[in-house]
Structure 1
């Protein structure tokens, strides 16, 4: 899975309309989120830094989720957008590991937490990949 890293409001106008998952690394007024949804109608998930997620209003989060867009907190560690504007996550490995953990009898919360820790991504992203 490729996650598009967006560092500024100006980058939204340049996004491919087919983007499905983005990480927003800048302040998030509601207007920016709606501009993003308008630009990328196939958008399924938005990951934002935890400090910015805490500042998102509940009505904004609810409206995005009603539109079918999951919003969750998370970080992209060590990624340099001057080298590549996408961060790649091995979705297949996460799904396979989740199956192994489920076979061991772990509950869904433990599976998500352990999968996130092992993959080095947010629990929100693992939950999105697993459909939870």
Structure 2
């Protein structure tokens, strides 16, 4: 699973229309979010750093809810955009999530344990958990 890291508003309009998970590494305006949704019609998740989450307007939150797009808080730890425009969630993490789910562990326990071990936000772990359940 890959997260597309976008570090400037100019980059939004150059994205692949098939992107599903995008991390915005800048403080987006309402116009930026609308542009992203328009450019990437298949988008499922927009991830923002914690400090930027507080500045997202209620109208954008409502718009994303209506579009069935999740707005998650989180970071892409240790990612270097100059090396790769995608942050890859290690397959070992995804396999561990699947294994814990098969063992019958509750979702909250999986989210807590995996986020602590992998530095992924619990909301992103929950997204992966739900995504893997539907595959």
TM-score normalised over the length of structure 2: 0.86
Q: CA deviation at 1:123?
A: 1.4
Query: What do the CA deviations read for 1:77-109 (whole angstroms, capped 9, x no partner)?
Result: 11111111110003x533432344456664322
Question: What is aligned with 2:10?
Answer: 10
Question: What is aligned with 1:85?
Answer: 85
Q: 1:78 to 1:103 in 2, by over 3 A?
A: same
**Alignment partners' CA distance in 1, 2:116 and 2:79:** 17
Question: What is aligned with 2:115?
Answer: 116
**Alignment partners' CA distance in 2, 1:42 and 1:99:** 24
Is residue 127 from structure 1 mapped to residue 126 from structure 2 by the alignment? Answer: yes
Q: Superposed, which structure 2 residues align to 1:1-132 within 5 Å?
A: 1-90=1-90, 92-102=91-101, 106-131=105-130
TM-score normalised over the length of structure 1: 0.88
**Alignment partners' CA distance in 2, 1:109 and 1:21:** 22
Q: CA deviation at 1:125?
A: 1.2
State which drifts further: 59-68 or 26-35.
59-68
Q: 1:7 to 1:130 in 2, by over 3 A?
A: same
